[in-house]
Amino acid sequence: MDALILKLRRRHREHFGLEPAIVSYAPGRVEILGNHTDYNEGFVLSAAIDAGIAVGLNPSGTPASTLFAADFDESVQFLADHPGRTDKERWSNYARGVYALMREKYGFEPRGFQATQTGDIPIGSGLSSSAALEIASALAFAAFHGLSPDKLDLARIGRKAEHEYAGVNCGLLDQISSLFGREHALVFTDFRSLQVETVPLPRGYAFLIADTAVKHALVDSEYNERRRRCEEAAAYFARVLGPQVKTLRDVSWTDLERHRGALDPAVWNRAAHPIGEDERVLRGVELLKKGDAVSFGRLMFESHKSSQIYFQNSCPELDTLIDAARATPGVLGARLSGGGFGGSIVALIKETDVESVARVLAEAYKNAYGHVIEPRVVVPSAGARLV
């Protein structure tokens, strides 16, 4: 992070001619266990990572505000009392939306500002650079206007900005992970109560991310189909088990098995994934608290198998990396991370085996598809903060 902050200060000075009065930082995130459970009001284990977005800000002294994206070498200007959104410099819509929504919620008098943003999260890596930008911007704007907002309020503002200003229908996982991260610990979130706690990762282990750089067609329609099937299953169980069933979070694996014959096979399969994932997350938390990284890794492999068989949100590229990881000494577990149908895998590995595992995964992927990938270690890190 230190190098990123130095870069931010330098680029802000070059562009605006003065030091930023406020500097904030927010990390990206990786999903470790709990796939497609958030919208079923279930449980997720995630982690803030050691890469993120930094924002520097100072008053402009005028009604005008300027956003400077150092990584694109682009800037955009707008009035502080009407940030709006744009179809041209679309990268600016995240910060614009956050500012507008914070003003709407907290009612502060708008003030013109000069802000620089820069980051070290690889673009398109699935590590949530957008959420990191939203949260870093929110922290900077809060400090600028003398606010001390609740973390969950900032998470909701970030999500709403992504929905309404960036046009991305995300959940709260990314923002919560960025805000509540802790060094060498995972973030355990209950998506019904939005209660959050952190669970230490046993020493000597780290996570390796391998990005396939693949996003298959029809992802949105596939996602919608799976979500609809989960809702159908929840409605069925509410009828047969009682009104206490609000979502699949309220259905046990035993309940699911008992009603296998009564459900359409496609509905049963889609429901099986989040129901099994919830149980894996809760078991995973117990194992981490006992320091049992080996058994936790097995849950990650089980999670990916569930994605393959029940939810069918894996793909050949992801499966190639998982198969290579499973056969590699030093890998305790691995699974797809995020929505699926492409994107990245995350593997739990011994810190001493980072280079050898990364080399094996890269070679396996190149042999299968002819493409070079660069697996990278991510370290569970502290959450968003003012610097």
Rounded to a whole number of angstroms, the distance between the first and last alpha carbons of the chain is 10
Structure letter (DSSP) for residue 370: S
Q: What gap in Å lies between CA 387 and CA 382, rounded to an integer?
A: 12
User: Is there a single domain that holds both residue 157 and residue 271?
Assistant: no
Other Cβ atoms within 10 Å of 290 Cβ, number: 11
Give residue 340's domain range: 205-378
Within a domain: 387: no
Q: What is the tens place of the pLDDT at every residue in 249-264? A: 999 999 999 999 999 9
Of 173, 199, 225, the one marking the end of a domain is: 199
Angle between helices 316-326 and 354-369 (to 10 degrees): 140
pLDDT, one tens digit for every residue, the chain (387 residues)? 899 999 999 999 999 999 999 999 999 999 999 999 999 999 999 999 999 999 999 999 999 999 999 999 999 999 999 999 998 999 999 999 999 999 999 999 999 999 999 999 876 667 889 999 999 999 999 999 999 999 999 999 999 998 899 887 777 999 999 999 999 999 999 999 999 999 999 999 999 999 998 876 556 678 889 999 999 999 999 999 999 999 999 999 999 999 999 999 999 999 999 999 999 999 999 999 999 999 999 999 999 999 999 999 999 999 999 999 999 999 999 999 988 888 899 999 999 999 999 999 999 999 999 999 999 999 999 999 999
Same domain, 173 and 275: no
Q: How many CA atoms lie within 13 A of 11 on its CB side?
A: 25
- Among 199, 225, 242, give the residue marking a domain's end: 199
Does this model's pTM top 0.85? My answer is yes
If you search the block for the tokens 């990364």, which residue do you land on? Answer: 358
Using the structure block, give the residue that is written with the tokens 């919560």.
Answer: 176
How many separate domains does the chain show? 2
- Tell me: do 84 and 182 sit in the same domain: yes
- Which of these, 199, 250, 244, 186, lies nearest to 378 by C-alpha position? 186
Alpha-carbon gap, residue 132 to 32, rounded angstroms: 18
- Residue 364 within any structural domain of the chain: yes
Q: Is 29 a member of any domain?
A: yes
Is residue 305 a part of any domain in this protein?
A: yes
- Sequence-distant (≥ 6) Cβ neighbours of residue 109 within 8 angstroms: none
Cα separation, 217 vs 154, whole angstroms: 33
> Which DSSP category does 202 fall into?
P
How is residue 251 annotated by DSSP? -
Do 165 and 43 contact (CB within 8 A), yes or no? Answer: no
Share of the chain above pLDDT 70, in %: 98
* 174 tagged catalytic: yes
Q: Which of 38, 174, 211, 353 is catalytic?
A: 174
* C-beta of residue 360 within 8 angstroms of C-beta of residue 334: no
Nearest-angstrom CA–CA distance, 325 and 360: 8
Whether 196 contacts 54, CB under 8 Å: no
Residues 294 and 334 in one domain: yes
Give dist(CA 56, CA 18) in Å, integer. 11
The two tokens of residue 163 are 């929905």
Last residue of a domain, one of 165, 199, 233: 199
Residue 15 lies in a domain: yes
Q: For 192, list phi and psi in degrees, rounded to 5.
A: -95, -55
Residue 383 lies in a domain: no
Q: How many angstroms separate the CA atoms of 341 and 339, rounded?
A: 7
- For 9, 102, 157, the CA distances from 28, given in Å and listed in that order, are 20, 21, 17
- Over residues 266-292, the pLDDT tens digits come to 999 999 999 999 999 999 999 999 999
Pair (46, 157) in one structural domain: yes
- What is the token pair recorded at 74? 């682009």
